[in-house]
Structure formats: structure tokens, C-alpha cells
Amino acid sequence: MIKKKDLSQDDKKVWEDYIKNPSDIYDKDRKNQKIAKNERFKFDLHGYSLDGANKKVREIIFFCIENKFKELLLITGKGMHSTNDNDTYISKDFGKLKFSVPEFIRSDLELYKFIISINKADVKDGGEGAILIKFKNL
């Protein structure tokens, strides 16, 4: 593969537009999900920023409620690859998704009214690197 040294403005614009809405890439996590009652929906948040993860979690919770899932398993990771340790002004604990996502859900009253509990997942489901959210029966 030969890399272009200088990209034209048109090429850059096409690439930026594609990154914003990659319509030809399928969502591997959604494709494998069965939409049925009494099941657990699982989603991996690796690679999401804090803001991006919060927006995605909001979308997923409403999807789960609409499709009558009982539980949501969010894979957050343990934050082992975080670069927060390099910056003394950033907390190495509170920049992690495993802390920020539950706090986001608790602070959003529109979301939290659907939630029974938010807990660390069992070891077999990811332990410290995953969050298990249980929904109310509506």
C-alpha cells in the first residue's frame, strides 16, 4: 500500500464525513443480539470517550427498555490502558468508564427511573471491568 504524502482538501472532507457516519460498517455487538424477553443485552464500551460512552449508554438503555430486556451488561474495562496517570491534574480513578457511566445514569432522572440496580458484574461476566444494570418491569 502506498500512502499519499499530501491529502487534498476534498479527500480530507470525504474522510471526515465518513468518520462521522460510517454507514457501511455493521455493529458487531447488535448483530449478534437476540431481541427477546427476559434476556440480557451486552455492549462493549472500549474505545469510547467519557462523553461518547454516556451518549451510547443512554441510547442503549432506551433500546433495552423498548425491547423489554431485563439486564444490560456494559463492558467498560478496568482502565489499565488509560493515560490519566501521565497527567497529575486528572484523577486516575474518576476518568474511567467504570466510575463515570454509573454516575451518569444515576444523575439522569429520565434514565434512572427505569433502573433497579447498577452493580459490578460477576467475575464470569467481567468483574471489575463490567457493569450489570437491572431494569424495572414496565
With respect to residue 106, please indicate whether it lies within any of the assigned structural domains. Answer: yes
Q: Hey, which of 9-18, 29-38, 45-54, 87-96 has the most confident mean pLDDT?
A: 45-54
| Identity at 68, one-letter amino acid code | K
- What are the tens digits of pLDDT across the range 14-26? 777 777 766 555 5
Within a domain: 16? no
Provide the pLDDT confidence category of residue 10 given band limits of 50, 70 and 90: confident
Residue 23 forms part of a structural domain: no
Q: Provide the residue range defining the domain that includes 104.
A: 28-135
**What is the average pLDDT score of the chain?**
79
Q: Are 132 and 119 in contact (CB under 8 A)?
A: yes
CA distance 84 to 88: 8
Give the Å distances, CA to CA, from 67 to 41, 50, 131, 138. Answer: 10, 25, 20, 11
pLDDT band at residue 55 under the 50/70/90 scheme? very high
Q: Decide which of 91 and 66 is more confident.
A: 66
- The number of folded domains in the chain is 1
3-state helix, strand, coil in the chain (%, to 5): 40, 15, 45
